[in-house]
């Protein structure tokens, strides 16, 4: 079993996973709040929304999330990376309340606290439980 410590770079990638998604979602919400209601029956309005500054920034941040998520999955188990993304719910609560001005009930704050405790618990285990494949011996021996 691979049980190595995470490098600073890997912590940075997990940080991006945890921050890019809620920031991207908050930017999407901020951009959509300034627009009239959009319906799937009018796809051109939806396409037009993509080119507004807040929504475009949200999309870029969500692409950053996806890239960092894929990177993390290349060296860590899904059962390790997914809880790291769950910590983004805490960030979302904070952004929604303080940046978007949403009223967040005490039950939601409690839920965010429980998520934080759960993430801290899961983070104590190894990032990867998959054995590292060893390189096969070369068949180019002369003999």
Check residue 124 and give its pLDDT.
72
pTM of the predicted model as reported, rounded to 2 decimal places: 0.78
pLDDT given at position 26: 97
Question: What is the per-residue pLDDT across 123-137, written as a single tens digit (0 to 9) for each?
Answer: 776 777 776 555 555
Residues 15-64 have pLDDT tens digits of 999 899 999 999 999 999 999 888 888 888 888 899 999 999 999 999 99
SS3 137: coil
Distance CA 44, CA 38 (A): 10
At 65 the pLDDT is: 96
Interval 118-123 mean pLDDT:
76
Residues 32 and 13: their CA atoms lie apart, in Å, by 28
- State yes or no: pLDDT of 2 exceeds 70: no
Q: What is the pLDDT of residue 61?
A: 98
* Residue 35 CB contacts under 8 Å (≥ 6 apart), including other chains: 49, 52
Query: Is residue 65 a contact partner of residue 25, using CB atoms and an 8 Å limit?
Result: no
Extents of the domains making up the chain: 8-122
pLDDT at residue 57 in the model: 98
* pLDDT value, residue 1: 41
* Diameter over CA atoms, the chain: 77
Q: Residue 141's pLDDT is what?
A: 52
79-118 confidence digits (pLDDT tens): 888 887 888 888 899 999 999 999 999 999 999 888 888 8
pLDDT of residue 112: 86
């Amino acid at each position: 079993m691979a049980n190595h410590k995470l490098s600073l770079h890997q912590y940075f990638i997990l940080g991006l996973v945890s921050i890019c998604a809620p920031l991207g979602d908050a930017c999407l919400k901020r951009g959509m709040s300034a627009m009239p209601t959009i319906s799937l029956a009018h796809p051109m309005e939806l396409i037009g929304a993509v080119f507004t500054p807040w929504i475009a920034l949200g999309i870029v941040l969500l692409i950053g999330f996806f890239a960092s998520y894929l990177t993390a999955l290349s060296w860590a188990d899904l059962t390790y990376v997914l809880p790291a993304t769950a910590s983004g719910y805490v960030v979302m609560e904070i952004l929604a309340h303080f940046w978007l001005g949403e009223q967040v009930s005490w039950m939601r704050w409690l839920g965010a606290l429980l998520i934080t405790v759960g993430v801290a618990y899961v983070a104590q285990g190894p990032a990867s439980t998959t054995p590292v494949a060893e390189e096969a011996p070369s068949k180019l021996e002369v003999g």
